[in-house]
Amino acid sequence: METEKVVINIEQRNLDTEIKNIPGKNGNFNIKEQTAMMNCDGQRLKITMVLGENELAYPLGDYEIDYPKSITVNKYGNLEFARRIKLVPIS
């Protein structure tokens, strides 16, 4: 049984990033975000991805999640996505 791939699509309207200023206990900090569309199991969902401070927005195209760089094990031993999901272009 073949499983459907999760595809992240960056469209023209998703090329810009948004900087959010978040208050923290040691002062404010910025979070840079980019929206995208995720196609998973026949559903199309809008998602928000956190980018690094100096990381450029992903260009137009279709991407897959780079799982080795995008998953982590939390302190309870559970698998979860990392704060910053990394994408690789689908060729």
Over residues 53-90, the pLDDT tens digits come to: 889 999 999 999 998 999 999 999 999 999 899 999 99
Contact by Cβ (8 Å): 7, 39: yes
Name the amino acid, one letter, at 1: M
Q: What is the DSSP track for the chain?
A: -PPPPPEEEE-GGG---EEEEEEETTEEEEEEEEEEEEEETTEEEEEEEEE-TTPPPPPSEEEEE-HHHHEEE-TTS-EEE-SS--EEE--
For residue range 26-47, list pLDDT tens digits in order.
999 899 999 999 988 888 999 9
pTM of the model: 0.78
